[in-house]
Amino acid sequence: MSTNTDLPSPFRRYEDIVRSEWIDYNGHMNVGFYLLAFEEAARSFFSWLDLSKDYRNRTGCGFFVSECHMTFEREVSEGQHLKFETQLLDKREKVVRVIHLMYSVDTPYLAATNEVLYIHVNLDKRASVPIPKEKMFLLDELFMAHKHLPKPQQVGRSINIR
């Protein structure tokens, strides 16, 4: 990447439609399918970084989810058009922390968030390993582009009864 202005800030590449099979007996999207939709947004993000299936095949490394925290802001229903944003919150030698945000497009609102800690892993050894320097360079640039974005209020949340 040549300049930080070339970097998507935030990252916006994935959209989807709420499918009928994602709807539960309460008439809204089931919790499991939120995670599936967020995983597809993550695949889009990692693919853009060239850290997806092809990367795994070339290097024998990939990313595991170490921890995630979802929040549900407003429900979504069958047929709703969704768009996703990903914001890089932090990165270290072996880990990447992001928040994915799910928005309803038809009636614009934030529907849900998923904050995730990914660990870079050697798949043969099943152990964490450093992210390659050229990928860290891109992550550093993306982090510089994202660090000025407002942090969503859901970042760092824990589960509490108010």
Rounded to whole angstroms, the Cα distance separating 103 from 112 reads: 7
pLDDT grade for 5, boundaries at 50, 70 and 90: low
* Annotated domain spans of the chain: 7-146
pLDDT grade for 2, boundaries at 50, 70 and 90: very low
Q: What ranges make up the beta strands (E) of 42-108?
A: 61-72, 81-91, 95-104
Q: What is the pTM of this model?
A: 0.93
Residue 160: is its pLDDT beyond 70? yes
Assigned architecture for domain 7-146: Roll (3.10)
pLDDT grade for 3, boundaries at 50, 70 and 90: very low
Summarize pLDDT for 143-159 with one digit per residue, the tens.
999 999 999 999 999 99
H or E stretch covering 32: helix 31-48
Answer with the residue of higher pLDDT: 162 or 52.
52
Sign of the torsion angle spanned by Cα atoms 65, 35, 54, 81: negative
CB atoms within 10 A of CB 107: 8
Residue-level pLDDT at 8: 87
Summarize pLDDT for 101-143 with one digit per residue, the tens.
999 999 999 999 999 999 999 999 999 999 999 999 999 999 9
